[in-house]
Amino acid sequence: MTATRHVPVMLDRCLHLLAPALAEPGAVVVDCTLGLGGHSEALLSTFPAARLVALDRDKEALRLSGERLAPYGDRATLVHAVYDELPDVLDRLGIPRVQGVLFDLGVSSMQLDEAERGFAYAQDAPLDMRMDQSAGMSAAEVLNTYAPGELVRILRAYGEEKQAKRIVSAIVRERAVEPFTNSARLVELIRDALPQAAKRTGGNPAKRTFQALRIEVNGELSSVEAAIPAAVGALAVGGRIAVLAYHSLEDRLVKQVFAAGAANTAPPGLPVVPEQYQPRLRLLTRGAELPTETEIAENRRAAPARLRGAERIREAVR
Ligand SMILES: C[S@@+](CC[C@H](N)C(=O)[O-])C[C@H]1O[C@@H](n2cnc3c(N)ncnc32)[C@H](O)[C@@H]1O
């Protein structure tokens, strides 16, 4: 396993969005999703005056990118943490404010490619799906123990699966016979449970259920929901944040936080907008930016990416 297999997504655009904030000596940039260190390495080499703090919940990712970033010495500080712990991490490091933050949400190529981690529906593997294998419930435990209504909610909300009830009925029937341990049995069950018409659209019929389980196992949406406002709160005035999301649920959360920060919250009709109602953020992207056709042709995992950026323009006034 080398640390170079994950091709960093929309790399030039991320660097460009963060650049104006990272030129000054002493600038701190946080990569909240270190992964295999592709974006982090580019940040360190492009902005020689900046110091990097990088987080990941996956210890294997930290080990591999630690080797990759070793040449940068103490300019890089790698921390095993969930990204919504960012304020505590910065506190422990004695860093009050940062100039840049990057989130590259979702699963890394390493996690997808290592069959035994159980993220991929295309290979038979234990149904694990935990990004941090030292904590929390596996996908198999979720499938075997959650109430049927809860499973339906998860498949609908996190997988946007229209056939959630049908799939969950089949799961509940099967798990009473024998608990789930491996992905192949779940994939086969989903294929058998779906009507012909539903199987003809949208690629592998197990895709949405796997996405939903992964989001539930890793608490992904609640983590993002807490982490983006915390990251905006950690930015110094003039600091910039860039977020890459890979499905509409995540992207919607990012959009909401940025839009709320960029809004003027004054009651209508005020002739002059007092400071406390003025926006804290300036949007750097119009809507979400997408990867180019050329990038997608070279790296198909970039296809669903949605990039948004914002700049902190004002302190919060109490
Ligand atoms: C898409 S990968 C990042 C790839 C990286 N930008 C690169 O170029 O190599 C996402 C990484 O975020 C990590 N991750 C996902 N959710 C996390 C969370 N809540 N807290 C910390 N890390 C998380 C995953 O373990 C994974 O390694």
Look at 203 and 62; give whichever has higher pLDDT: 62
> Which residues touch 18 (CB under 8 Å, ≥6 apart)?
29, 43, 47, 100, 102, 240, 242, 309
For ligand 1, the distance from its centroid to the CA atom of residue 208, given in whole angstroms, is 20
Separation of alpha carbons 312 and 24, rounded Å: 16
> Cβ(35) to ligand 1 under 6 A?
yes
- Residue 316 CA to ligand 1 centre (angstroms): 29
15 Cβ below 6 A of ligand 1: no
Top-confidence residue, 255 or 204 = 255
Q: Ligand 1, residue 6: give the atom nearest the CA.
A: 9
Would you say residue 225 has pLDDT above 80?
yes
Ligand 1 atom 13 nearest Cα: 33
Return the axis-axis angle of helices 38-46 and 59-69, rounded to nearest 10°: 30
Q: What is the pLDDT of residue 199?
A: 65
Percent of the chain with pLDDT over 70: 96
CA 166 / ligand 1 centre spacing (Å):
32
Look at residue 28 in the predicted model and tell me its pLDDT.
98
Q: Which pairs with CB-CB distance under 8 Å and at least 24 residues apart come from 253-256?
A: 253/221, 253/224, 253/225, 253/228, 254/224, 254/228, 254/308, 255/288, 255/308
* 52 pocket-lining for ligand 1 (C-beta < 6 Å): no
Count, residues in the chain: 318
Nearest CA among 310, 213, 189, 212 for reference residue 261: 310
164-177 and 148-159 helices cross at what angle (nearest 10)?
140
Is pLDDT of 200 > 90? no
Rounded CA gap, 166 and 164, in Å? Answer: 6
Judged against a pLDDT cut of 70, whether residue 202 lies above it is answered with no
Binding site as annotated, residues: 37-39, 56, 83, 104, 111
On whether the CB atoms of residues 207 and 167 are closer than 8 A, the answer is no
Domains and CATH numbers, the chain: 3-110+220-312 (3.40.50.150), 121-218 (1.10.150.170)
pLDDT tens readout for residues 283-304: 999 999 999 999 999 998 899 9
Cα 42 → chain centroid = 19
Residue 3 has pLDDT above 50, yes or no: no
CA distance 312 to 119: 36
Q: What is the mean pLDDT of the chain?
A: 91
CA of 200 relative to ligand 1 center, distance in Å: 32
Residue 272's pLDDT band, with cuts at 50, 70 and 90, is confident
